[in-house]
Each structure stands twice: as structure tokens, then as C-alpha cells.
């Protein structure tokens, strides 16, 4: 049996360190640089711990959405509160598999654009981190679309309800010369602090309190899942030639 408390205690500090990646610059896709890209390997990302976050002033949170989720979780863990352990356990029990769902949705979107696409798995040091070694993919595809999910869960801003909050990193790299052809960070959330592409939640998955989130884990899980298609569509649209 997986010890969720132990897993959360190990991953939360690592995710907090990753929060500074929220400010990384994006790079638009230039079709002329990718004229020879016909086949793409899409990396299936690891699922992060599912967190509940809160912050009264998102603009002053240096880590953006990821900082909001991780900072609140670390604060709660330090105070001896286990609500994130419970929430992560609830979402795991609901079989929320963001990594598998997102990579499949992106694959479908890219195939509609005429690319030949396979989904692959690469070693990752921790959830939210892109791979640092694509050598095993050489000869299998022209480019690799690396995906990572630094944060996923629910967050609220003062006087607003809890809503789904998911962050995804995407980076397309030419496997022949290791040139980055495109990169972006997507935040599926009501607000963000800038530096990423904001996608507003579709609605229907708001909760008035933390207790309300815990009272309906199935709806909470579906709220997190609702981020998959909008993000996948944005990534596919970005890679249209």
C-alpha cells in the first residue's frame, strides 16, 4: 500500500522548488523551422500530487498558480494538517490520470493536423519536470513533444469558490539538432500572475469550501479532468502549420 503521507511530504518541497519555473519564457512555434517534422513522440507526463491551495493575492505569489498550490500545501503540512494527503488520496481513488489523458488528447489533436504521433514514456526526476535526455528517441521520431504537469488540484482566491487549477508545460524539440521549436506553460485557472497562457475553467465545478470539495470527490475529480481537452486543444493549435 502506498503511504500517501510519506509521498506527499517528499514531493511537496520538490514541487515548491519547481514553482519558479512558472516564469519561464514561452517560445512560439515557427512552422518554417519545423518543415521537416512529420513524426512526433509525445511524452506521457507523470501525475503530480493533487493539492488544495489558497492565496488572497495571486499577483504577489512569485510562483504563479504552482506557487499558490504548493505554498499552501507546504504551510498545511508544516502545521500538521493532512488535508492534502486526504485530497490526493481521494483523487487517486477516483482514478484521475491526467498524464495519460492529456497525452492521448494531444496525440489525437496532432494526428488531425497530419502528424504521425506516438505516446512514449521517459524517465522523469519528479512530477512537473521535463526530461533532460531524449537520446532513446532518436530514430523513432523527428521531434519530441515533452509534457509535464507541475500542479493540479483546486484553488480559491478570497471571496471566490474553489475551482479546478491545473498547470501544464509543453516543449517541442527537434531530435536531429536538439533545437527547441516551441514551448509554453498553460494555466487552467481563474487567475494567474503572468508569464503563462491562461485558460479559464469552463464552470460547473465550483465548491464553496474545502469541506464541500471533500464531500463530492467524484465531481472534484471531473473538475480536474475538465482541464485536459482545453489544454490539449491549445497545444495542438499552437503546432498547426
pLDDT-above-90 percentage for the chain: 50
Structural domain boundaries enclosing 147: 4-22+35-238
Looking at residue 91, its pLDDT comes to 95
Q: Is residue 28 part of a domain?
A: no
Nearest Cα neighbor of 103 from 152, 45, 59 is 45
List the one residue out of 144, 182, 191, 184 whose CA is nearest residue 168: 184
* H or E stretch at 101: helix 98-112
CB contact at 8 A, 44 and 100: yes
- Please give the pLDDT value at position 59: 36
The mean pLDDT value for 172-178 works out to 94
Residue 27 lies in a domain: no
Average pLDDT taken over every residue of the chain: 81
Tell me: pLDDT of 15 over 60.
no
What's residue 107's pLDDT? Answer: 98
More confident residue, 56 or 163: 163
Residue 75 located in a structural domain: yes
Asked if residue 234 has pLDDT above 60, the reply is yes
Span 3-22, mean pLDDT?
44
> Per the domain annotation, does 30 fall within a domain?
no
pLDDT 10s digits, 32-71: 878 899 999 999 999 988 888 754 333 334 445 555 555 5
Is it the case that residue 84 has pLDDT exceeding 90?
A: no
Residue 131: inside a domain, yes or no? yes
Reported as a pLDDT band with limits 50, 70 and 90, residue 198 is: confident
Report the candidate in 176, 172, 192 with the shortest Cα–Cα distance to residue 184: 172
Q: Is the pLDDT of residue 168 over 70?
A: yes
Does the CA dihedral 107-144-46-184 come out positive or negative?
negative
Q: Please state which of the ranges 58-67, 110-119, 150-159, 194-203 shows the lowest mean pLDDT.
A: 58-67
Tens-digit pLDDT profile for residues 89-118: 999 999 999 999 999 999 999 999 999 999
pLDDT tens column, 219-230: 999 999 999 999
Domain count, the chain: 1
Amino acid at each position: 500500500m502506498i503511504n500517501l503521507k510519506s509521498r506527499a511530504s517528499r514531493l511537496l518541497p520538490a514541487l515548491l522548488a519547481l514553482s519558479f519555473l512558472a516564469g519561464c519564457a514561452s517560445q512560439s512555434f515557427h512552422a518554417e523551422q519545423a518543415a521537416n517534422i512529420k513524426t512526433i513522440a509525445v511524452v506521457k507526463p507523470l501525475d503530480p500530487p493533487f493539492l488544495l491551495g489558497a492565496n488572497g493575492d495571486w499577483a504577489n505569489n512569485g510562483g504563479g498558480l504552482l506557487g499558490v498550490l504548493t505554498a499552501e500545501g507546504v504551510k498545511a503540512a508544516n502545521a500538521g494538517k493532512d488535508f492534502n494527503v486526504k485530497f490526493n488520496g481521494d483523487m487517486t481513488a477516483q482514478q484521475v490520470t491526467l498524464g495519460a489523458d492529456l497525452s492521448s488528447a494531444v496525440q489525437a489533436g496532432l494526428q488531425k493536423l497530419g502528424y504521425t504521433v506516438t505516446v512514449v514514456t521517459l524517465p522523469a526526476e519528479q512530477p512537473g519536470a521535463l526530461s533532460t535526455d531524449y537520446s532513446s528517441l532518436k530514430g523513432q521520431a523527428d521531434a519530441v513533444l515533452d509534457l509535464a504537469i507541475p500542479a493540479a488540484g483546486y484553488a480559491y482566491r478570497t471571496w471566490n469558490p474553489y475551482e479546478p487549477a491545473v498547470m501544464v508545460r509543453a516543449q517541442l524539440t527537434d531530435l536531429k539538432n536538439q533545437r527547441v521549436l516551441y514551448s509554453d506553460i498553460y494555466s487552467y485557472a481563474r487567475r494567474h500572475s503572468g508569464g503563462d497562457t491562461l485558460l479559464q475553467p469552463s464552470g460547473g465545478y465550483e465548491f464553496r469550501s474545502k469541506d464541500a470539495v471533500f464531500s463530492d470527490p467524484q465531481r472534484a475529480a471531473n473538475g480536474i479532468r475538465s482541464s485536459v481537452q482545453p489544454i490539449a486543444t491549445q497545444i495542438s493549435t499552437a503546432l498547426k502549420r
